[in-house]
Amino acid sequence: MVDQYANFIIASYVAVILIIGGLGLAMILDQRAQKRALAELEARGSTRRAKEAS
Q: What is the binding site for another protein (CB under 8 A)?
A: 3-6, 8-9, 11-13, 15-16, 19-20, 23-24, 27, 30-31, 34-35, 37-38, 41-42, 44, 46-48, 50-51, 54
Residue 9 contacts residue 3 (beta carbons within 8 Å): yes
- Could you tell me the smallest distance in angstroms from the CB atom of residue 49 to another protein? 10
- Could you tell me the smallest distance in angstroms from the CB atom of residue 21 to another protein? 10
Please state, in angstroms and rounded to a whole number, the distance separating the CA atoms of residues 19 and 6. Answer: 20
Please state, in angstroms and rounded to a whole number, the distance separating the CA atoms of residues 54 and 41. Answer: 16
